[in-house]
Chain A
Amino acid sequence: MDLIFFIVFGGIALISAISVVLQRHPIASALSLVGVMGSIAVLYLQLGAEFLSMAQIIVYAGAVMVLFIFVIMLLNAGAESRRGRSWTAQLLGLPALLAFIALIGFFVQRGFSNVGFVKFGNFTGGSAQGVGMALFTDYLLPFEVTSVLILIAIVGAIVLARKEMD
């Protein structure tokens, strides 16, 4: 059951990710990216990360992607042209990518092939209570620093995107 779940949603994530890279129109890429994030949220649920799963849907699939689509619509971004690519990139791109994946897969299989199995329900510490407990005791300082980071990001975004006042 776990295996079927993983294969279905891992497959959706994989196909959507390929679609993100191959689609020519930014809107199509953005919608494929929503598919990737949704299926990764399901995989989080299977891994016992309930809080992160919901945060993934709300923050990524909700807020960040809406921001992306907003900007794509605002700038009226069209399909990108295929010309202007060096022949080395066209020739070596796909083999290099496959070699990279094969290398990582080889080392992961060698180093982590016997470390155990993921089964739904064998880790229950990822609820909102568990994450909140860790966040507000062991990781309180990083959490507070994060709020400063977000404040800086808000101010930066406003300063960058405002109209010039004369």
Chain B
Amino acid sequence: MPDPSQLINSGVPVSWYLVLSAILFALGVAGFLFRRNIITVFMCIELMLNAVNLSFVTFANQHKQVSGHIFAFFVMVVAAAEAAVGLAIILTVFKNRATLNIDEIDSLKN
């Protein structure tokens, strides 16, 4: 942990961004595991993708390379496509089952 006067002058340590990203990712994992609504589970996946993007951009800043931004951009594109297809799947499941609770959508389990 750097001393306070150094922090004011030199900015934010890179590790703080990475820790923030890790916490956001962990919260996404927690929501993914503990929530029961399929739409909320899906939103937690988006939260995890955002957390990973944040560490990509942090490393791009640290290494002074633009490649990290490109990877984050591709993650964004894939997330948008995934949201469209995933929400279409949720619509279809709701049409057939009339439920959004993931405990009741367990045909593959038996």
Residues of A in contact with B (beta carbons under 8 Å apart): 2-3, 6, 10, 13-14, 17-18, 20-21, 26, 29-30, 33, 36-37, 40, 43-44, 46-49, 51-52, 55-56, 59-60, 63-64, 67-68, 71-72, 74-75, 77, 80-81, 84-85, 89, 93, 97, 100-101, 104-105, 108-109, 112-113, 115-120, 122-123, 125-126, 130-131, 133-135, 138-139, 142, 146, 149-150, 152-154, 156-158, 160-161
Q: Are B46 and A60 in contact, with the CB atoms below 8 A?
A: yes
**A71 proximity list for chain B (CB < 8 A):** 39, 87, 90-91
Q: Are B64 and A134 in contact, with the CB atoms below 8 A?
A: no
A149 and B75 alpha carbons, distance in the complex (Å)? 12
Interchain Cβ contacts under 8 Å between A and B, 8 examples: A21-B44, A26-B43, A63-B80, A67-B84, A93-B34, A113-B15, A115-B62, A160-B92
**A153 proximity list for chain B (CB < 8 A):** 80-82, 84-85
Q: Are A68 and B15 in contact, with the CB atoms below 8 A?
A: no
Extra inter-chain contacts (9) besides given A43-B17, A118-B14, CB under 8 Å: A6-B16, A36-B50, A40-B50, A44-B54, A113-B1, A123-B60, A153-B85, A156-B85, A161-B92
The total of Cβ contacts below 8 Å across the A-B interface reads 239
With A59-B80, A115-B15, A119-B10 in contact, is A13–B37 under 8 Å at CB? no
Q: Are B12 and A97 in contact, with the CB atoms below 8 A?
A: no
Q: Are B66 and A149 in contact, with the CB atoms below 8 A?
A: no
Q: Are A30 and B43 in contact, with the CB atoms below 8 A?
A: yes
**A105 proximity list for chain B (CB < 8 A):** 19, 22-23
Question: Closest 6 A-B residue pairs measured CB to CB?
Answer: A119-B11, A153-B81, A160-B88, A21-B31, A104-B22, A117-B11
Closest to A44 in B: B57
**A20 proximity list for chain B (CB < 8 A):** 27, 31, 40, 43-44, 47
With A13-B24, A160-B89, A160-B92 in contact, is A47–B60 under 8 Å at CB? yes
Q: Are B36 and A84 in contact, with the CB atoms below 8 A?
A: yes
Majority SS of interface residues in chain A? helix
A42 and B20 alpha carbons, distance in the complex (Å)? 14
A149 and B85 alpha carbons, distance in the complex (Å)? 11
Majority SS of interface residues in chain B? helix
**A115 proximity list for chain B (CB < 8 A):** 14-15, 62
A14 and B23 alpha carbons, distance in the complex (Å)? 8
Q: Are B87 and A68 in contact, with the CB atoms below 8 A?
A: yes
Q: Are A10 and B20 in contact, with the CB atoms below 8 A?
A: yes
